[in-house]
Chain A
């Protein structure tokens, strides 16, 4: 039996806007994925630790506070240190389109600005999870 794709969702930093990430969690679950939602106020270290412990296929970060670039770089760096570079990291929230290429070149595999359809991010996350399985 193939295991369900397992996704870690977290809000990094102190931004408390958590409506979106909770909706995302529900939509991914409805689409048949296993979701671990860490909650608000997560440090970069805690997120990477959880990705390791939970052996997830994709890490999804929610950022509405404007600190997406600095947190993305920090988390990707920590993941490399822990040998987790094969786990794709995606990011969604409030951010300028101008930052999408910057996030992608830092190593974020997909960026979902507010308004992205659930069907769209669900598919991309599913594909990323599957590709991780192949990499193993």
Chain B
């Protein structure tokens, strides 16, 4: 028996030594050759197909001097517990050397219900920060110089427009000109339709609120990015690289179209649009994907929307390293995956990067895991030299060939979407969701049958870990109850007449038609300490939807 075991071990060693790469295709299934030569790169014309960095079609980057002009923004998505808890973590991040902030709200926020909603109490402060009113927002940004720091709001439902209003209300209280505010709001309400939150965000109302934000910020907040199409969440669901680009550019086009319909000029809005992309684990494919997206967006904006301003043609993007590529098994392996994904983002010329923490598939990040995520970016920025030169892989026959192939595949998918009546129609018909769901199943099947190797998961497994290195984020007992109690207290102690008047004015504005921008009335209502749930409930009713998206609460009598 012992001898047999020994023989098996020896055979395994021999097999490992002679092991060959079995499936030489990319993560997305693009076949690859053993090597690439000039013939594979498609005989490209440098000026036409690539251009110098900072020149049309921007395949090589949106800035001529790239990171010499400005380093990418290093920020870490942050949000848990009460606004005070998250404020503490953001201050910690600043102490660790981040160069921007990024906030995410909890499920209640995404659904626009308050923390004291009967279904919300258990959820308050999970998966994001609990913000029900301007009072929470004041706590969230307490002591943080919002006129100096760039803040990204990682939210996409009807909560976006309320957060925008509250942030503007804080700026006004601090006597900061709105024009000084720098940051981004994701504001991609359409993508909520296929990310599990669709019911809370009716398509047409979502688009209306997104366009309101675009319009308001274009007029009042010239340094603010009015939306970044969320390619990341779609990719996380299993789409491949070409689908990510195709769905993402179609999504982004939908907002440009709707804003132009509102009467805005494409060159007034497009320079403040951005993208939120994944950087997945297949290194070269991700770099090629982002280069392809840049070239495609430039042509699309020029040819389809007639944009003239060079800034309108530039695909500016933030990267979120791929959470879905991370596993709870052997959690420290994730730190290595994250580092490669972040390196790919830098080599592809990202404007902003969020590196996941290695405990992403386990819980919310701890200070330990989040510090390592920040340090990962700093090591890439200051030690590896990766940031020194723009598009350092440009001209590689392999990279150019992959870039061309992803572009070609993505253009075909976009043509399919157009055939289905465009992105909004393709979402409403359920086609996008069905593409996403079949992709998700395909990814799992690839892992099940060993087609894709994941170290520590379907290969090189070890005994189940007994604990998570660095500890885990603990949710304090009674967190939800305490947060809910503070919302109830606010609702008792504020000036009720003031709240009712502000909500009535908001209702009137919302009844005044598609073009009546909700933001000024939302800013007033925020100032009166009307809550997220009350404000969006009022708007929802004015548009013929139930007051409470969860179907529990009755509208208040004003």
Q: Which residues of A contact B (CB under 8 A)?
A: 13-19, 22-23, 26-27, 40-41, 43, 65-67, 70-71, 94-98, 113-115, 117-119
Asked if B516 lies at the interface with its beta carbon under 8 angstroms from chain A, I say: no
Contact call B196/A18, Cβ cutoff below 8 A: yes
- 9 A-B pairs with the lowest CB-CB distances in the bound complex, closest first: A16-B196, A14-B107, A115-B327, A96-B472, A66-B126, A16-B197, A113-B328, A18-B196, A14-B123
Contact of B328 among A15, A23, A114, A117 (CB under 8 A): A114
Q: Can you sample 24 A-B contacts with CB below 8 Å? A: A13-B122, A14-B108, A14-B119, A14-B123, A15-B107, A15-B123, A15-B196, A16-B110, A16-B195, A27-B448, A41-B550, A43-B119, A65-B126, A66-B363, A66-B364, A67-B123, A70-B122, A94-B362, A95-B363, A96-B468, A97-B328, A115-B329, A117-B448, A117-B458
Pick the most buried of B328, B454, B457: most chain A CB atoms within 10 A of its CB. Answer: B328
Contact call A119/B328, Cβ cutoff below 8 A: no
A23 to B447, alpha carbons, bound, how many Å?
A: 13
Contact of B361 among A15, A26, A70, A114 (CB under 8 A): A114
Contact call B363/A96, Cβ cutoff below 8 A: yes
With a cutoff of 8 Å between Cβ atoms, the chain B residues found around residue A96 in the complex are 328, 359, 362-363, 468, 472
With a cutoff of 8 Å between Cβ atoms, the chain B residues found around residue A22 in the complex are 437, 440-441
A54 to B327, alpha carbons, bound, how many Å?
A: 34
Contact call A26/B328, Cβ cutoff below 8 A: no
- If A26-B441, A117-B458 touch, whether A65 touches B123 (CB-CB below 8 Å) is yes
Asked if B475 lies at the interface with its beta carbon under 8 angstroms from chain A, I say: yes
Q: Is the interface of A mostly helix, strand, loop or mixed?
A: loop
Contact call B122/A71, Cβ cutoff below 8 A: yes
Extra contacts besides A14-B107, A115-B361 (13): CB < 8 Å: A13-B122, A15-B126, A16-B196, A19-B236, A19-B437, A67-B122, A94-B361, A96-B359, A96-B362, A96-B363, A98-B472, A113-B329, A113-B361
Nearest A residue to B331 via CB reads A97
Asked if B265 lies at the interface with its beta carbon under 8 angstroms from chain A, I say: no
Asked if B14 lies at the interface with its beta carbon under 8 angstroms from chain A, I say: no
CB distance from B97 to the nearest CB of A (A): 27
Contact of A115 among B328, B359, B475, B550 (CB under 8 A): B328
Contact call B238/A19, Cβ cutoff below 8 A: yes
- If A14-B119, A98-B472 touch, whether A23 touches B440 (CB-CB below 8 Å) is yes
With a cutoff of 8 Å between Cβ atoms, the chain A residues found around residue B518 in the complex are none
A95 to B465, alpha carbons, bound, how many Å?
A: 13
CB distance from B234 to the nearest CB of A (A): 11
Contact call B126/A97, Cβ cutoff below 8 A: no
A15 to B196, alpha carbons, bound, how many Å?
A: 8
- If A16-B110, A115-B327, A119-B448 touch, whether A65 touches B238 (CB-CB below 8 Å) is no
Nearest A residue to B157 via CB reads A16
Per-residue interface assignment for chain B, residues 87 to 115, with 1 indicating a CB less than 8 Å from any chain A CB and 0 otherwise: 00000000000000000000110110000
Interface size on B, residues (CB 8 A): 43
Nearest B residue to A96 via CB reads B472
Please count the residue pairs between chain A and chain B whose beta carbons lie under 8 angstroms apart in the complex.
96
- If A97-B328, A115-B329, A115-B457 touch, whether A13 touches B123 (CB-CB below 8 Å) is yes
A119 to B361, alpha carbons, bound, how many Å?
A: 20
Asked if B4 lies at the interface with its beta carbon under 8 angstroms from chain A, I say: no
With a cutoff of 8 Å between Cβ atoms, the chain B residues found around residue A66 in the complex are 126-127, 363-364, 475
Contact of B444 among A65, A97, A118 (CB under 8 A): A118
With a cutoff of 8 Å between Cβ atoms, the chain B residues found around residue A19 in the complex are 236-238, 436-437, 440
A41 to B239, alpha carbons, bound, how many Å?
A: 24
CB distance from A106 to the nearest CB of B (A): 15
CB distance from A99 to the nearest CB of B (A): 8
Contact call B196/A94, Cβ cutoff below 8 A: no
A56 to B178, alpha carbons, bound, how many Å?
A: 57
Nearest B residue to A114 via CB reads B361
Nearest A residue to B330 via CB reads A115
With a cutoff of 8 Å between Cβ atoms, the chain B residues found around residue A43 in the complex are 119
CB distance from A58 to the nearest CB of B (A): 20
With a cutoff of 8 Å between Cβ atoms, the chain A residues found around residue B122 in the complex are 13, 67, 70-71
With a cutoff of 8 Å between Cβ atoms, the chain A residues found around residue B457 in the complex are 115
A13 to B196, alpha carbons, bound, how many Å?
A: 12
Asked if B466 lies at the interface with its beta carbon under 8 angstroms from chain A, I say: yes
Per-residue interface assignment for chain B, residues 290 to 313, with 1 indicating a CB less than 8 Å from any chain A CB and 0 otherwise: 000000000000000000000000
CB distance from B440 to the nearest CB of A (A): 5
Q: Which of B186-231 contact A (CB under 8 A)?
A: 195-197, 199
Contact call B448/A97, Cβ cutoff below 8 A: no
CB distance from A79 to the nearest CB of B (A): 18
A27 to B448, alpha carbons, bound, how many Å?
A: 10
A78 to B275, alpha carbons, bound, how many Å?
A: 45
Asked if B467 lies at the interface with its beta carbon under 8 angstroms from chain A, I say: yes
- If A22-B437, A40-B196, A66-B126 touch, whether A94 touches B108 (CB-CB below 8 Å) is no
- If A71-B122, A96-B362, A118-B444 touch, whether A16 touches B472 (CB-CB below 8 Å) is no
Asked if B175 lies at the interface with its beta carbon under 8 angstroms from chain A, I say: no
With a cutoff of 8 Å between Cβ atoms, the chain A residues found around residue B362 in the complex are 94-97, 113
With a cutoff of 8 Å between Cβ atoms, the chain B residues found around residue A97 in the complex are 328, 362, 464-468
Contact of A118 among B364, B448, B465, B472 (CB under 8 A): B448
With a cutoff of 8 Å between Cβ atoms, the chain B residues found around residue A41 in the complex are 119, 199, 550
CB distance from A76 to the nearest CB of B (A): 15
Nearest B residue to A115 via CB reads B327
Per-residue interface assignment for chain B, residues 464 to 490, with 1 indicating a CB less than 8 Å from any chain A CB and 0 otherwise: 111110001001000000000000000
Asked if B348 lies at the interface with its beta carbon under 8 angstroms from chain A, I say: no
A82 to B457, alpha carbons, bound, how many Å?
A: 38
CB distance from B330 to the nearest CB of A (A): 10
A41 to B552, alpha carbons, bound, how many Å?
A: 13
Nearest A residue to B551 via CB reads A41
Asked if B120 lies at the interface with its beta carbon under 8 angstroms from chain A, I say: yes
